Chain A
Amino acid sequence: KAGVTQTPRYLIKTRGQQVTLSCSPISGHRSVSWYQQTPGQGLQFLFEYFSETQRNKGNFPGRFSGRQFSNSRSEMNVSTLELGDSALYLCASSLEWTSDEQFFGPGTRLTVL
């Protein structure tokens, strides 16, 4: 069974631009969560999607948004990029609930110049 895939793996953007990251969960998994990982703040929860609906949301500004498609694939969008958005963005999938075991993808390394 294929694992969680994320594209692109690396991305370089400039301040003010917007970016879209993609995540394909493990086949059969319906819950997708997004996290931001930085050296200073560690791993921080962004949001979780289940059945195309945002089920939970962390404490991030509205510039961070996401969506989930009917095939459970998810996208995350960050608008008006800031230098502080440079981070590793990880997607994790689980079967039904956030409390199920989460499997992480390899991440997308975003650098904002």
Chain B
Amino acid sequence: QKEVEQNSGPLSVPEGAIASLNCTYSDRGSQSFFWYRQYSGKSPELIMFIYSNGDKEDGRFTAQLNKASQYVSLLIRDSQPSDSATYLCASLYNFNKFYFGSGTKLNVKP
């Protein structure tokens, strides 16, 4: 079993809709969780991180963490075609090891 699991997609949403990306993790010792965006042929770039239960908002992005369910999600409001990319979820274990999911491919259709 992988440490971090994501649905590979693709997830297709129309422009202006809310895109919901989900990830589960297996180790309860994980402290923080990160969402990265990776455009095709490019390297990952950090969107946001979360370490407390609940929601964290940054512009059009909202990260949600539920430690009891070991579940992390990323909501993208007012999705734009430029949001089309692969989204990687990562957990930080023991403050020193990152585990990445395989990523969910998001397509935002104009």
Contacts and interface: CB of A to CB of B under 8 A. Distances in A.
Interface of A: 33, 35, 41-45, 48, 55-56, 58, 90, 97-99, 101-107
Contacts of A104: 43-45
9 contacts: A42-B101, A43-B88, A43-B90, A45-B99, A97-B95, A98-B97, A98-B98, A105-B43, A106-B43
Contacts of B49: 101
A98 to B, nearest CB: 5
Interface of A is mostly: strand
Q: How big is the B interface, by class?
A: 10 to 19
A107 B43 contact: yes
B88 A99 contact: no
B100 A42 contact: yes
Contacts of A97: 95-96
A101 B48 CA distance: 9
Given A41-B102, A42-B101, A98 B46 contact: no
Which of A58, A99, A102: most chain B Cβ within 10 A? A99
A90 B102 contact: no
Given A101-B49, A102-B98, A104-B44, 16 more contacts: A42-B100, A42-B101, A42-B103, A43-B44, A43-B90, A43-B100, A44-B100, A48-B96, A90-B43, A97-B95, A97-B96, A99-B32, A99-B96, A101-B46, A103-B46, A105-B43
Given A90-B43, A104-B44, A107-B43, A99 B95 contact: yes
Contacts of B76: none
Nearest to B42: A106
A56 B97 contact: yes
Contacts of A107: 43
Nearest to B86: A42
A102 B46 contact: yes
Contacts of B32: 99
Contacts of A58: 97
